[in-house]
Structure 1
């Protein structure tokens, strides 16, 4: 093995150095800007130099609530051939302001959901980027670009956001490696970009049968919008109901992409208590969020659940303690990834006519109620927007099929231990969802040949949540673990033998301990000690063989004081990202942020002695079944093949459970009556529990 470590000094992470944004130079005022950086869940891939680039939108967001910025989009000249599109956001802000959501729309479709940093009184800048090649067809026509950043200005909230949105176009047709090469990271002109989790496995790959590219042939908006308004639905205030249009007979893949994230009462849903206990410590100043700590996104077709997904737990820069996320933001807060739902197994319906899908954000308990029991529902709100991506094949002249099986199961359990007069509570909640759909397909091609097969899609969503509350609500410790799995298989239509399969699994553990420090502050101030471990693990298996593992973790501590004279605190978080492949090729990025200072940001790459394995080699260099390999590749690509990441063994969560046990042992509070906690300066959470959104000023 050959390995090398170096300091990551390119603050632009590739593209920022290419951006010319004189419009906002006046913000610098000759002073050095404070930089917020991200460590994305995936490292940069190299497309080479862009073949074209352009500014899409420059705008200032002051009192901008309900006032998105729009611009007319003009595609690159017809002489410019491109196969990838990367969007970049530069955000400048000064003064005091909450973090805010950013939504980017193209032709009425949300293509990127991000957020801003909390400046905490400093002139600040941040840069982020997203590969939006899935939506490439939208960038080949004249249309409208919209950027939504709802912001408010008051005597205390002075921060105005200045935003520049830019587009970079690439025409890279070669095979890319799963992780960056050392020379790619070092070269100065490297235009790199960050991939979505759902696209890392076969980005840009064209298969031999259906000729699918990463760029969908059609993008159809599924969320209604009105002129000048963004296409958003706020659940549960409004129903999440979409109508999939009838598709052409040569459509071979269909995917719904839904952006959905919990906000307001639902921002810290994983810290909520069962309804009967949320007010138990009200007399001691703590009212917790209700509806329980479990959330799952269910998808229904004709009243039958066909998919269940865990929402990704996003912590924004103002979440829990802003000091934790300055200067390195929490993973996922700059790229709130949309859920990619493969609905290709519904194509036999869509070839015949439109079909409706209903989406539900469930508290889990409502899905496993005894007869006659009333539903609890959830709080407000989950912000959502959906689009449909379609791929077609010019060689297909006729298609038919039948959905043979659509089945599911659900099991939800909960237990609470609440001794009287103790100031103590222990709550344990588990939920298990599984869904299966099986469809027969028959395709006829222009040359007169035909192909029939059976496709199976199996998904699971598991959640475990353990919470311990002590000191009448003055200390809350939780461990929340989400696990999900997506498995696809292609079967012989004659004997049901499997000739291709893949398994995509994920785990998202989170451990948080928040404790009020009564000895360190006097009313009206409130001081808190916070410890946090947050992680994600993804694994990919092809025909039973594990070919890729990705693991990202955040481990930090913070001391925070809430005060009428100004909230403040300090924090320290270590970030670690590792990607490894079957070939022995690995990538590691290790960074430390300490009290607003970036202490180090190092990258280490280990390559096999005989050279790195290409993306195609890593995926399809396995021993193939006797069935023609090109067919299995084609079917995998044509029916959502490897469009996501997946099965995490228990050892991957070991450090999380150890942290949870450790936090429980660090108990400096007693069960005596606690002082009444002061309410925080907060914009999102109406309850006075320990999980809240905080403004540092």
Structure 2
């Protein structure tokens, strides 16, 4: 290393995290030629005045049965979220509205719909929707503008079907603040749409030779905080040593279990992938200290033993980097944050004793704050009062990181590489016989962080490769297998110029992708899906204080989904609220594996 003194470089690296986070997120639009409305002029719930802009996240439509109209729908909640920060979640009583639900019949498809409008100026706000403590949706609000905005999220929540046949408490937390500057109130409707097969009802797990893989779980239990609260039901992870946990006993006739984990990152760790490592510098060498840096790993544990790891997708919220990039096309995952599944069936033998066991969550090298909770999906053996099992093989060595750096003065680079492998195998004996399940995760991480312009510019080039698989065997045959490969590429460049006191210009270019290939097979056939979702964006903004005085944001997105069940394609581009083009179709354009085409099944 050369150039700047070690003390100066250390000071730069320690201060950079807070400065970068502030600039990447806290700039809010306030065009000088647009008058901000007073709170009294906030639009009514159903019809914002002027010409509201429709914001959206590009994704394939929720899969529905052939009959397009729902059998019944229920408006669960209608509320105006204004002065709600640090106050209890808004709750409502849910009761099954369809006659078939009241008779205990589970729906074949369920769609959760979040519809919202707002007007004025506001930060983006994270929010969650829970039913009976089970999280159904983690999302971020769109940022309003003076003439109003509207947006809708439609999410397939069929996997939670067991929840909807009995009364529950709905809880929604959206912490919002309203004052003379930030006037946006979020007017929200939350609904459920229920669909039923034309047959007498969906087949239960007992009707399948491969139980538990083609039907939703029989029971979904929350691993979250309980009401009453003055926040969301998620756990708050404050730092790298913080472990949040809850204790739960499961039915003793469980034969399959999947842990679904919701993750979001905020405040000092909203842009964790841009954080340089903590270092101690001497004249001759550099020593890396624990904590911070650009690597994060979410760990789920059972009684202190690692169940699985999550290396999360880098969701950029609607106020992140440059707010103009996300108007009206929202960032990938921002309106429907992904959840992550961990197959924990191999561990069932440890918890089939009817006793409480501790499920914990932590984040490697975390800064304040991460929101994490989980849902435990359980399949029950209706033909037996109890099941038994045992863990056969297990390995979960710590992740293997390496860190490289080279600097001249304040310009240089950090390169972080990490890898991880987790594997578990166990058997469960039920009325289906003895079934052996193997689950594995293989994760690879690389982050190259380059500083230039005497430390005023930063480039991030990062890739996360996330591979996992499930293999379930009966003594006589393979019942089910699934193999999933995910890749999360990210390129981000930010540069600051014309900095005078509290005024500066920031330029940003980014490319972010969510790619997934999924293969599964059982005696009934083969299924395949491929998703390539790529977003590129660029823009600049002139900022004074924390308000954008002027700027430009352009975004282009190509979404391609192909599967044995159907296809969806969309190519859309925008520039400062204006859609330049928007092309989409739901036809398969090339041969799928095994010659499967849309509609041929």
TM-score of the two chains, using structure 1 as the length reference: 0.71
- 1:660: which partner in 2? none
- Secondary structure of the equivalent of 1:606? coil
Q: Does residue 34 of the first structure (1) align with residue 57 of the second (2)?
A: no
Q: How does 1:187-198 map to 2 (within 5 A)?
A: none
2:407 to 403, 415, 418: 418
Q: How does 1:59-74 map to 2 (within 5 A)?
A: 59-67=79-87, 68-74=89-95
- 2:335: which partner in 1? 334
Q: How does 1:223-262 map to 2 (within 5 A)?
A: 223-227=224-228, 229=230, 230-236=232-238, 239-249=243-253, 251-262=254-265
- Secondary structure of the equivalent of 1:45? coil
CA distance in 2, matches of 1:306, 1:228: 28
Deviation per residue, 1:475-525 (Å, 9 max, x gap): 10011111111112234659xx9775331110001000111233xx75542
Q: 1:398 to 1:248 in 2, by over 3 A?
A: closer
Report if aligned partners of 2:361, 2:372 keep a CA contact under 8 Å in 1: no
- Secondary structure of the equivalent of 1:418? strand
Alpha-carbon distance, 1:442 to partner: 2.7
Deviation per residue, 1:583-605 (Å, 9 max, x gap): 9x643111111111122221134
CA distance in 2, matches of 1:452, 1:123: 58
1:112 to 106, 131, 137: 137
Alpha-carbon distance, 1:65 to partner: 0.9
1:525 to 503, 506, 512: 503
Q: Does residue 464 of the first structure (1) align with residue 484 of the second (2)?
A: no
Report if aligned partners of 1:205, 1:212 keep a CA contact under 8 Å in 2: no
- 2:272: which partner in 1? 269
Alpha-carbon distance, 1:110 to partner: 1.8
Deviation per residue, 1:298-353 (Å, 9 max, x gap): 22334432311111211011000001100100110001122222211111122223
Worse overlay, 159-168 or 289-298: 289-298
Worse overlay, 325-334 or 307-316: 307-316
Q: Does residue 221 of the first structure (1) align with residue 219 of the second (2)?
A: no
Q: 1:150 to 1:617 in 2, by over 3 A?
A: same
- 2:533: which partner in 1? 552
- 1:511: which partner in 2? 491
Q: 1:543 to 1:90 in 2, by over 3 A?
A: closer
- 1:18: which partner in 2? none
Q: 1:117 to 1:491 in 2, by over 3 A?
A: same
Q: 1:93 to 1:205 in 2, by over 3 A?
A: farther
- Secondary structure of the equivalent of 1:136? helix
CA distance in 2, matches of 1:211, 1:582: 20
Report if aligned partners of 1:308, 1:460 keep a CA contact under 8 Å in 2: no
- Secondary structure of the equivalent of 1:135? helix
- 1:563: which partner in 2? 544
CA distance in 2, matches of 1:204, 1:571: 49
Alpha-carbon distance, 1:86 to partner: 1.2
CA distance in 2, matches of 1:108, 1:453: 31
- Secondary structure of the equivalent of 2:116? strand
- Secondary structure of the equivalent of 1:71? strand
Report if aligned partners of 2:381, 2:431 keep a CA contact under 8 Å in 1: no
Q: Which runs of 5+ in 2 are unaligned?
A: 1-41, 282-289
Alpha-carbon distance, 1:118 to partner: 1.1
Worse overlay, 131-140 or 25-34: 25-34
- In the alignment of these two chains, the number of paired residues is 531
Higher relative contact order (CA 8 A, sep 6+): 1
- 1:593: which partner in 2? 574
CA distance in 1, matches of 2:390, 2:84: 49
Report if aligned partners of 1:401, 1:441 keep a CA contact under 8 Å in 2: yes
Q: 1:551 to 1:277 in 2, by over 3 A?
A: farther
Q: Does residue 97 of the first structure (1) align with residue 97 of the second (2)?
A: no
CA distance in 2, matches of 1:141, 1:570: 49
- 1:357: which partner in 2? 359
Q: 1:206 to 1:323 in 2, by over 3 A?
A: farther
- Secondary structure of the equivalent of 2:454? helix
Report if aligned partners of 2:423, 2:441 keep a CA contact under 8 Å in 1: yes
Alpha-carbon distance, 1:551 to partner: 0.4
- 1:178: which partner in 2? none
Report if aligned partners of 1:306, 1:407 keep a CA contact under 8 Å in 2: no
Q: 1:609 to 1:336 in 2, by over 3 A?
A: closer
- 1:76: which partner in 2? 97
Q: 1:435 to 1:514 in 2, by over 3 A?
A: same
Report if aligned partners of 2:48, 2:119 keep a CA contact under 8 Å in 1: no
CA distance in 1, matches of 2:598, 2:438: 25
- 2:557: which partner in 1? 575
Alpha-carbon distance, 1:152 to partner: 0.7
Q: How does 1:161-176 map to 2 (within 5 A)?
A: 161-172=186-197
Deviation per residue, 1:621-675 (Å, 9 max, x gap): xxxxxxxxxxxxxxxxxxxxxxxxxxxxxxxxxxxxxxxxxxxxxxxxxxxxxxx
CA distance in 2, matches of 1:561, 1:204: 58
Q: 1:134 to 1:605 in 2, by over 3 A?
A: closer
Worse overlay, 214-223 or 316-325: 214-223
- 1:478: which partner in 2? 460
Report if aligned partners of 2:268, 2:367 keep a CA contact under 8 Å in 1: yes
Q: 1:408 to 1:490 in 2, by over 3 A?
A: same
- 1:679: which partner in 2? none
Report if aligned partners of 1:210, 1:392 keep a CA contact under 8 Å in 2: no
Q: Which runs of 5+ in 1 are unaligned?
A: 1-22, 175-201, 279-288, 364-377, 446-450, 619-697
More strand by percentage: 2
What is the alpha-carbon root mean square deviation over aligned residues?
3.1
